[in-house]
Amino acid sequence: SSFTSSLVSLDQYKNHDAVAHLLSHGLDLINTLRSFLNENHRDHHKSELDRASEMMMATYAREVCEASAEANGSHFKVSRTSLNQLEEFSVDVMAQQMEDCAPRLWKLFNVLLDARNLQNDLDLDSDHNMDTEDS
Among residues 34, 40, 39, 30, which one has the least CA distance to residue 8? 30
Q: CB–CB of 56/103 below 8 Å?
A: no
* pLDDT tens digit sequence for 36-69: 777 766 666 667 888 888 889 899 888 888 887 7
Contact 89, 78 (CB under 8 A): no
Q: Which helix (H) or strand (E) holds 45?
A: helix 26-67
The full DSSP string for 13-29 is GTT-HHHHHHHHTHHHH
> Which pTM does this prediction carry?
0.48
